[in-house]
Structure 1
Amino acid sequence: MNNPPAATPSAAPHKAAILAIILVSYVMIVLDTSIVLTGLPKIHQELGFTDTGLAWVQSAYTLTFGGLLLLAARAGDIHGRRRLLQLGLVLFTVASLAIGLAQSPAMLVAARAIQGVGAAIVAPSTLALLQTTFTQGRERTRAIALYSAVAGIAASVGLVLGGVLAEWLSWRVGFFINLPIGAAMLAATRRYLAESEMKQGRFDVAGAASSTVGMAALVYGLIRSAGAGWGDGLTQGALAAGVLLLAAFIAIERRAAHAILPLRLFASRQRNAAYGARVLFLGAMIGFFFFTTQFLQVVLGYPPSLTGLAFLPMTLVNFGVALCVPRLTRRLGNARLLAVGLATTALGMAWLSRVDAGTAYWLGVALPMVLIGAGQGMALSPLTAAGVAGVPAQDAGAASGLVNVAHQMGNALGLAVLVAVAGLGASQLAGVPLLAHRVTVALGGASAMLALALLLVLSARTEGKVA
């Protein structure tokens, strides 16, 4: 049987097939971010992770994902987006197999880091394909709307599917699912995608290395502090190395001829507030998923399948509100809608932080989740718009990349901070009371993050509207 011929630039693009490739590839990334969450307690028990080490199952993925996004986007411009998308799909699929076969914490975390590299290549490639394939106006608006909608659906399905698989089969099955999907996407990219025009340029390897390693050191120091304490020498060394490497990254970007992060993007106070608010918002949300999952299973005794279903009040409301964002934006304006969304999320998170072993699900968990879901549905789209507001055309790609980096760094740093904070005042506790205490403290910290994000956004309005 002959292989299907690769698409050529002269052929008319098959837009329905290309949109399917974009959506399915993005779903695979989002699904793996959420499907692991409801399986965390099983992973904890089966592989023998420590309480603080468990955070690396998520942090290893988000660190490499966020740290390499800008470099991967640049690589697509130079070497061709189809070639890079295929490379990303191969890395992501092979790493998924390694995760499913992992027999130790070290093997699983290493495979998750490689999976994050694959995601960092796939994400900007799919976004670039969306922009270059669909013309400006109604066609592109529809494609972007579908792109945003499948993210909400995938996150919801991932939480439920991860719990069901962890209880009825194994948490490993959630990663094996990626094998046939990845293989199908590789075949589809060869058949339907033409290679993009390649450009001259060099990689800012020093910038990518210093930012990625610096963030990794910073996150490692924060996570280690939860177990070893702030006086530990390795904790202090990792934090110091992280700060120095990130300072070096800024210095490198000032002089780089082909910077992966043009510093002129930070000239606007409004965009700076949007980037900072996004880091804080995503940090709070990843903490919500990470700690609430453990609370439901360990403290309330829910099985993994029911844990996934327990998140539906949040995910369904989130999806429904997100569909109403265009109308809400016209009525309230971007800046006001963003402020309302952040305030609503903060209120729900503060309510949820009051949980304990005697909390009733419907009043103490489900209702706060409704507020959190509504707030997230209102906030994410305006945050994205604010992050690219006023950016000249030549910097549009870099600004979009920076929004994605803020998203992933919020996940990685936010979880690290909340894991460290969760251990405060818990030295005399053990077992279920210890976990209940950690959840309460962590969600309280997430509420503070959201309040700070709201203050950032409101303060930026003194310069004008946020978006």
Structure 2
Amino acid sequence: MSESSATGVSPVSTPSPSPQNPADPTGHNPRRWWLLAIVALAQLTVVLDGTIVNIALPHAQSDLGMSDGDRTWVVTLYALVFGALLLLGGRIADYWGRKRSFIVGMAGFAVASTLGGMAQSTWELLAARGLQGLFAALLAPASLALLTVNFPGGKDRIKAFSVYGAIAGGGAAVGLVLGGVLTEYASWRWCLLVNVPIAIVAIVAAIPIIRESKAHGNTRYDVPGAVLVALGLGSLVFGFAQAENGWSSWQVLVFIPLGVILLALFVLVESRSNHPLLPLRILADKVRGGAFITGTLTGAALLGGLLFLTFHLQIVLGFSPLESGLASLPMTATIMVGATVLSKFLPRIGVRVPMTVGPLVVAAGLLYLSRITVDGSYAAEVLPGLILMGAGLAMIFVPLQNVALAGIDAHDAGAASAAVTAVQQIGGSIGSAVFTVLYTSAVAASLAGGYGTPVAQLQAFVDGYQAAFFWAAVGVFLAAPVAFFMVRPRPQDLLGSEPAMHLG
């Protein structure tokens, strides 16, 4: 048995050079750092759009007359459609062309954002958010696949994925800041319309800089698999979202089991297909599987936690949208600093330690936030928790994509990239739904013993936020033992197969 197989992970494979594959296995691609900047911009747009509307939700709800349930679906629907269609989007990127998919995905995302920014009713906004998720499902895997094939190995690969990971972790908080600025000084609609100029810049830059790359050989689409995974994930998230009406409601009892059955059928179809949507060899590796589970649990805690933090800052502490957005900056700054420091040590210490300690630090931050009170201050009750979360998220997201994509063949770059993003988005979608149920139950229990006064209502809200933060902490804590026992590659596996002369 070879040393690499004994560790449970293969060295990063190096794509063969071809006219369709601009990644040079010797590491010489003069435009790849510009490509990284373009991909980072696209990734920031996709990630921040999951949270940028959080700040604007109270204003959008008032303007469009949305119910509380519809308000939650503005966030959940984007993550649901995005996650459900990511695997298909990844295969389209592989077969149709990653550059082409990137440009079309970016353009479509801009159009959907324009429709959302001009929405005059709740259903128009929800439809636009769903359309955003659809094009994001094409854009995100194409972006990460381009990064994978252009940085096949070496320390440059670690640096590139560190940038990508920092954006994945900090982009959500950046969305809160940008959402606050736009809502305060312009309109909540600009939280969607801002994507248009960003998309134009990315597309104009991508056309001359990015060269096309695509998979060769078997490029038939797995239509049955695409239908099963989309319906399965959709049913699962819808079932959890309906738990707000009670865990014994017929929607919960029907759609959650239906989702599990459809996903089980998807796995069966993939195991027998000679052109699977998601090759099971991608999931079979223990190290990669551990990274996927860690990403799912972290995505749930991050999106669910930030959603209720926004409500607490605005509704209980009385922050303006701008103040609420700026209040999340310490977490973003901590992620950026942590990512910079960690990327320098990652080749020596490996990924097991940071990916084990990271969830524990994030959980500590969420537990700290679960101690918030009605009359507490931001500095004492919120800020320390945000800094802890930022430090922990840096330890998770910097190595996560690198580990999850180690040993992936160039043919499957898009599919594997889609799987990495999908687990985080689906985790966030389910997490938002479950934490909303827990929040609602805690609020109802608190109001049952109160007198309906404004103070009692605020206390009920805080009780709900405390419950959401606590259970988010429990969820991300479970990622620590998963990473400890499953994510165990050697430090040198992170460097791939780039020659030693290019590692200094």
TM-score, normalized by length of structure 2?
A: 0.83
Q: Partner of 2:443: helix, strand, or coil?
A: coil
Q: Choose which of 432, 441, 451 in structure 1 pairs with 2:477.
A: 451
CA shift in 2, pair 1:251/1:325, >3 Å: same
Q: Partner of 1:302: helix, strand, or coil?
A: coil
Aligned match of 1:336: 353
CA deviations on 1:122-161 (whole Å, 9 max, x unpaired) are: 1122223334445744555554444445556644432212
Q: Choose which of 486, 495, 498 in structure 2 pairs with 1:460.
A: 486
Is 2:301 the counterpart of 1:290?
A: no
Structure 2 gaps of 5+ residues are 1-18, 23-28, 494-504
Aligned match of 2:9: none
Contact 2:184 2:322 in 1 (8 A): yes
Aligned match of 2:371: 354
CA shift in 2, pair 1:406/1:49, >3 Å: same
Contact 1:328 1:337 in 2 (8 A): no
Q: Choose which of 81, 85, 105 in structure 2 pairs with 1:64.
A: 81
Contact 1:44 1:50 in 2 (8 A): yes
CA shift in 2, pair 1:394/1:43, >3 Å: same
The within-5 A match list for 1:320-399 is 320-330=337-347, 332-389=349-406, 397-399=414-416
Give the superposition deviation at 1:277.
2.0
Provide the C-alpha distance between the structure 2 equivalents of 1:210 and 1:71, rounded to a whole number of angstroms.
Answer: 11
Provide the C-alpha distance between the structure 1 equivalents of 2:422 and 2:164, rounded to a whole number of angstroms.
Answer: 18
CA deviations on 1:170-192 (whole Å, 9 max, x unpaired) are: 11112112222323433444444
Q: Partner letter of residue 36 of structure 1?
A: V
Give the superposition deviation at 1:293.
0.3
Aligned match of 2:228: 210
Larger deviation: 25-34 or 288-297? 25-34
CA shift in 2, pair 1:440/1:149, >3 Å: closer
CA deviations on 1:225-261 (whole Å, 9 max, x unpaired) are: 11x2122223322223222221221122122221121
Is 2:431 the counterpart of 1:405?
A: no
Provide the C-alpha distance between the structure 1 equivalents of 2:291 and 2:156, rounded to a whole number of angstroms.
Answer: 27
Aligned match of 2:458: 432
Contact 2:356 2:480 in 1 (8 A): yes
Aligned match of 1:179: 196
Is 2:226 the counterpart of 1:225?
A: no
CA shift in 2, pair 1:122/1:132, >3 Å: same
Provide the C-alpha distance between the structure 2 equivalents of 1:138 and 1:328, rounded to a whole number of angstroms.
Answer: 11
CA shift in 2, pair 1:30/1:364, >3 Å: same
CA shift in 2, pair 1:377/1:303, >3 Å: same
Provide the C-alpha distance between the structure 2 equivalents of 1:379 and 1:87, rounded to a whole number of angstroms.
Answer: 30
Give the superposition deviation at 1:99.
0.9
Larger deviation: 84-93 or 439-448? 84-93
The within-5 A match list for 1:116-195 is 116-133=133-150, 136-137=153-154, 140-151=157-168, 154-195=171-212
Is 2:260 the counterpart of 1:243?
A: yes
Larger deviation: 408-417 or 283-292? 408-417
CA shift in 2, pair 1:203/1:102, >3 Å: same
Q: Which has the higher contact order (CA 8 A, sep 6+)?
A: 2
Contact 1:349 1:368 in 2 (8 A): yes
Contact 1:52 1:419 in 2 (8 A): no
CA shift in 2, pair 1:260/1:171, >3 Å: same
Provide the C-alpha distance between the structure 1 equivalents of 2:294 and 2:161, rounded to a whole number of angstroms.
Answer: 23
Q: Partner letter of residue 125 of structure 1?
A: A
Aligned match of 1:308: 325
Give the superposition deviation at 1:279.
0.7
CA shift in 2, pair 1:179/1:239, >3 Å: same
Q: Choose which of 286, 292, 314 in structure 2 pairs with 1:269.
A: 286
Q: Partner letter of residue 55 of structure 1?
A: T
CA shift in 2, pair 1:334/1:138, >3 Å: closer
Provide the C-alpha distance between the structure 1 equivalents of 2:157 and 2:408, rounded to a whole number of angstroms.
Answer: 19
Provide the C-alpha distance between the structure 2 equivalents of 1:192 and 1:391, rounded to a whole number of angstroms.
Answer: 24
Q: Partner letter of residue 439 of structure 1?
A: Y
Give the superposition deviation at 1:412.
1.0
Give the superposition deviation at 1:411.
1.1
Q: Partner of 1:36: helix, strand, or coil?
A: helix
Percent identity between the two aligned chains: 36
Provide the C-alpha distance between the structure 1 equivalents of 2:307 and 2:222, rounded to a whole number of angstroms.
Answer: 34
Contact 2:297 2:427 in 1 (8 A): yes
Provide the C-alpha distance between the structure 1 equivalents of 2:402 and 2:146, rounded to a whole number of angstroms.
Answer: 19
Provide the C-alpha distance between the structure 1 equivalents of 2:346 and 2:163, rounded to a whole number of angstroms.
Answer: 18
Provide the C-alpha distance between the structure 2 equivalents of 1:93 and 1:146, rounded to a whole number of angstroms.
Answer: 24
Q: Partner of 1:418: helix, strand, or coil?
A: helix
Give the superposition deviation at 1:220.
1.4
